[in-house]
């Protein structure tokens, strides 16, 4: 079970973002080399692996079930006393040192390994163009900016309800567009809207959310996904065919920033993800050594 935010220090040598096979392999290698690192994850590490009925190409474990292999991964890092901290990164400010921002806390790291996997949901039209100009990913972070204004929150899970409830105390109007079933704890002041998000519109800032049959006049739109697309986390990150562009050392175009696993592109294979995670950690260790 991931640990809570209270364990987070102000600075680390290395931050590993993601607790799938790539992130876990990176953490294992960082631990073996006795580095000061933090492994950031979620409540359920690697749901995609858990859903695999059978893995046929994991060397030494023929025909093992996905959930059994996932448990072996988690048990391995637990035996090595590696903690998984439940922390969702909302943005990263370039470094080094890099600053990793979350809902309630921020901290610094000299190097980062992005092992975020791939987001199942595509970006909405207008999302990239209006990012930072009305489009955001953490309502509670940016809430004061929208006092007495109207906002819409698009959410893929019930966590978005907490964000909407928070904004109901600040905004004159809060719309909620859920992409999941069964609302849990939504404030009655929040207006639920159903519909397909067509586009986020606006010239210089957000002005409207187009739901096809209805257009909502709003000053801000917050999108709550399970994980953020990598290019939305940090400005200036070079992408190639919707994947993070890396070299054979898993280096990105930014010094001290590495990437591993599905977020670096196809093939989306377990063995590739774990291998890249280990390699990225080794390269990050070399980078940290050179800093000294």
pLDDT value at residue 3: 56
**What is the tens place of the pLDDT at every residue in 223-266?**
988 777 777 789 889 999 889 999 999 999 999 999 999 999 99
E-strand ranges in the chain read 11-17, 37-41, 84-86, 91-93, 98-101, 106-114, 135-136, 150-155, 173-178, 191-192, 199-201, 208-210, 215-217, 220-224, 239-240, 243-244, 257-259
For the whole model, what pTM was predicted?
0.79
User: Can you tell me the mean pLDDT for 4-18?
Assistant: 88
Q: CA dihedral in degrees (92, 94, 95, 98; nearest 10)?
A: 0
Query: What distance in Å separates the CA atoms of residue 285 and residue 237, rounded to the nearest whole number?
Result: 21
Quick check: 291 pLDDT over 50? Answer: yes
Q: Which domains does the chain have, with CATH numbers?
A: 5-119+228-291 (3.50.50.60), 135-224 (3.50.50.60)
Question: Can you read off the two tokens belonging to residue 84?
Answer: 């998984």
**What is the tens place of the pLDDT at every residue in 109-143?**
999 999 998 866 678 999 988 988 999 888 887 88
**What is the tens place of the pLDDT at every residue in 183-226?**
989 999 999 998 788 899 999 999 999 998 899 999 999 998 87
> Helix (H) and strand (E) counts for the chain?
7, 17
Share of the chain above pLDDT 90, in %: 68
Q: How far is CA 27 from the centre of its chain?
A: 17
């Amino acid at each position: 079970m991931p640990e809570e935010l209270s364990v987070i220090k102000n600075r680390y040598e290395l931050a590993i973002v993601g607790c799938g096979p790539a992130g876990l392999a990176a953490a294992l290698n960082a631990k073996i080399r006795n580095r000061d690192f933090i492994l950031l994850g979620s409540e359920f590490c690697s749901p995609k692996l858990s859903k695999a009925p059978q893995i046929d190409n994991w060397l030494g474990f023929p025909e093992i079930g996905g959930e059994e292999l996932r448990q072996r991964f988690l048990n391995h890092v637990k035996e090595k006393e590696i903690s998984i901290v439940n922390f969702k990164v909302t943005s990263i400010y370039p470094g080094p040192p890099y600053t990793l921002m979350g809902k309630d806390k921020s901290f610094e790291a000299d190097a980062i390994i992005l092992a975020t996997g791939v987001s199942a949901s595509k970006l909405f039209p207008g999302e990239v163009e209006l990012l930072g100009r009305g489009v955001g990913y953490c309502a509670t972070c940016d809430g004061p900016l929208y006092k007495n204004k109207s906002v819409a929150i698009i959410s893929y899970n019930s966590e978005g309800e907490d964000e909407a409830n928070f904004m109901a105390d600040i905004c004159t109007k809060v719309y909620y567009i859920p992409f999941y079933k069964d609302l849990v704890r939504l404030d009655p002041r929040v207006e639920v809207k159903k519909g397909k998000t067509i586009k986020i519109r606006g010239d210089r800032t957000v002005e409207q959310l187009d739901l096809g049959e209805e257009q909502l006049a709003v000053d801000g739109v917050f999108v709550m996904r399970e994980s953020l697309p990598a290019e939305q986390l940090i400005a200036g990150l070079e992408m190639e065919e919707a994947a993070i562009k890396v070299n054979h050392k898993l280096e990105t175009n930014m010094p001290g920033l590495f990437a591993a696993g599905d977020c670096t592109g196809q093939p989306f294979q377990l063995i590739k993800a774990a291998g890249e995670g280990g390699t990225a950690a080794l390269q990050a260790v070399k980078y940290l050594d050179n800093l000294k």
